[in-house]
């Protein structure tokens, strides 16, 4: 019997595969550069679990759906994954509006969904039992940015937010932070499809008293145009006015090729675990990913990899692909991944806490030189993880 068992393990998993769905942008107009790397990370996880014998003695298969950053395509992809591919659970996504469309489908069919790099509070605030998030949330981000801006001593802040559900929610959260901290500010909204921000930038540049910080909540394709134009027009990031871009564009693999020198001095959030806090899994995965794809394992990449493994571990713990059993296993998980030890809140107040990874990694970085990798950029905040003595450094 022992020999038979060894031969069975050597032969690998057999039987009908456990099918999972992955959703995300793999082509324009979505954030496909990051989406492709997130898919690559998910595939590494699948290969690893199958090399270990699969789950419940069965191989794992992931069906990848390109949502192109479009809510309608995300909704249609979710329908196909459930109806045609008969998935046991889903994970992924890079755009909050798309995830919000997809999760309505997964909720309707009772399919567990791990949202991997979408920050809108509404993703978890809906309170759907099927939906979990292993990334950060807008409220966590804006609370951190607000603390940092106050510590940096900015006196007059210009806000620009994209005019969609996600951008407006971020604007509201940031406005509350600034009010609480007594920092004067002004707000301008911009259409998500906008690529020429000259009018908005010149309005802020000519203001009196002058603004000393430009905080942009803009993650759509125009984010790169916004950053370039702010520098070209002499507004920010400059010696007199700092600049922050929130939403993920500034840590995208295509950032430097799109903004060039305009990115030097820019501040942004990094949702990856600070290198000083990396564990053995982080080091191993980052090295393997770099070797295989010649790309850095960004926060979004690690979220996708860990998102897959969180579902694997939940299925293994549940001993079943039953949706309710998977959900219960996720609610009680304490699995350690590349981004630390995971647990998901079951608090419903505030609403966005529900099924949120409340200890999701988050640091504020500032690029010190052109083409600087995210992992090499100085960490400004929180101070416990800072890699430089300054809280903010005006560009030369």
pLDDT for residue 390 is more than 80: yes
**What topology does CATH give the domain 2-136+277-353?**
Rossmann fold (3.40.50)
Question: To the nearest whole number, what is the mean pLDDT of the chain?
Answer: 94
Instruction: Convert 50-91 into a string of H (helix), E (strand) and C (coil).
Output: HHCCCECCECEEEEEEECCCCHHHHHHHHHHHHHCCCCCEEE
Q: Which candidate, 190, 34, 189, places its Cα nearest to that of 117? A: 34
Query: What was the pLDDT predicted at 12?
Result: 55
pLDDT digits (tens, 9 = 90+) for 4-15: 333 333 345 668
Q: How many CB atoms lie within 10 A of CB 8?
A: 13
Confidence category of residue 193, pLDDT binned at 50, 70, 90: confident
What is the rounded average pLDDT of the residues 128-132? 99
User: What CA–CA distance (Å, rounded) separates 132 from 190?
Assistant: 30
Strand order in the sheet with 363-366: 185-190, 157-162, 213-217, 242-246, 267-270, 363-366, 379-381
Sign of the alpha-carbon torsion through 249, 276, 118, 35: positive
pTM of the shown model: 0.89
Domain 2-136+277-353 matches domain 139-270+364-385 at the CATH topology level: yes
Least confident range from 152-156, 254-258, 312-316, 344-348: namely: 254-258
Residues 109-127: tens digit of each pLDDT: 999 999 999 999 999 999 9
What integer pLDDT is reported at residue 220 of this predicted model?
63
Q: Mean pLDDT, to the nearest integer, of 54-59?
A: 98
**So what's the pLDDT on residue 90?**
99
Q: Phi first, then psi: what are they for 353, rounded to 5°?
A: -70, -25
- On the question of pLDDT at 219 being above 80, the answer is no
Q: What is the average per-residue pLDDT within 359-378?
A: 95
Give the C-alpha separation, 308 to 165, whole Å. 27
> CA–CA distance from 311 to each of 18, 45, 49 (Å)?
11, 11, 11
Tell me the CATH number for domain 139-270+364-385. Answer: 3.40.50.2300
Domain layout of the chain by residue ranges? 2-136+277-353, 139-270+364-385
Residue holding tokens 């400059």? 238
How distant, in Å, are the alpha carbons of 66, 94, 135, 277, 377 from that of 363?
29, 19, 13, 12, 11
Bridge partner list, 269: 364
Residue the block writes with tokens 């107009």: 29
Q: Are 88 and 325 in contact (CB under 8 A)?
A: no
CA–CA separation, 394 and 357 (whole Å):
33
* Per-residue confidence band for 218, with pLDDT thresholds at 50, 70 and 90: confident
Q: What is the pLDDT of residue 147?
A: 96
Report how far residue 151's alpha carbon sits from residue 145's, in angstroms, rounded to the nearest whole number.
10
């Amino acid at each position: 019997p022992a020999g038979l068992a060894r031969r069975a393990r050597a032969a690998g998993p057999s039987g009908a595969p456990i099918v999972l769905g992955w959703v995300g942008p793999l082509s324009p107009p979505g954030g496909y550069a990051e989406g492709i790397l997130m898919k690559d990370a998910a595939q590494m996880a699948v290969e690893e679990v199958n090399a270990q014998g699969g789950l419940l003695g069965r191989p794992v298969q992931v069906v990848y759906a390109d949502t192109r950053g479009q809510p309608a395509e995300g909704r249609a992809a979710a329908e196909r994954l459930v109806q045609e591919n008969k998935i046991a659970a889903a994970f992924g996504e890079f755009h909050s509006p798309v995830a919000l469309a997809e999760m309505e489908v997964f909720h309707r069919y009772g399919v567990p969904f791990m949202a991997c790099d979408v920050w809108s509070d509404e993703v978890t605030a809906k309170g759907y039992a099927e939906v979990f998030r292993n990334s950060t949330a807008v409220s966590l981000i804006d609370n951190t940015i607000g603390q940092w801006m106050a510590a940096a001593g900015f006196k007059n802040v210009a806000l620009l937010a994209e005019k969609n559900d996600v951008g407006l929610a971020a604007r509201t959260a940031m406005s509350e932070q600034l009010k609480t901290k007594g920092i004067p500010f002004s707000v301008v909204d911009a259409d998500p499809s906008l690529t020429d921000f000259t009018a908005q930038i010149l309005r802020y540049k000519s203001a009196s008293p002058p603004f000393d910080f430009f905080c942009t909540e803009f993650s759509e394709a125009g984010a790169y145009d916004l950053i370039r134009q702010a520098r070209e027009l002499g507004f920010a990031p400059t010696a007199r006015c700092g600049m922050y871009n929130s939403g993920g564009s500034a840590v995208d693999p295509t950032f430097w090729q799109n903004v060039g020198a305009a990115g030097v001095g820019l501040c942004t959030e990094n949702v990856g675990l600070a290198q000083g806090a990396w564990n053995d899994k982080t080091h191993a995965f980052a090295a393997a990913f770099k070797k295989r794809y010649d790309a850095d394992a960004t926060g979004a990449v690690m979220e996708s990899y860990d998102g897959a493994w969180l579902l694997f571990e939940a299925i293994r713990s549940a001993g079943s692909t039953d949706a309710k059993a998977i959900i219960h296993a996720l609610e009680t998980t304490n699995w350690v991944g590349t981004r630390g030890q995971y647990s998901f809140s079951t608090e419903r107040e505030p609403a966005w806490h529900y099924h949120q990874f409340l200890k999701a990694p988050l640091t504020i970085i500032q690029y010190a030189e052109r083409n600087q990798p995210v992992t090499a950029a100085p960490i400004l905040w929180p101070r416990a993880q800072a890699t430089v003595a300054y809280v903010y450094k005006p560009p030369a």
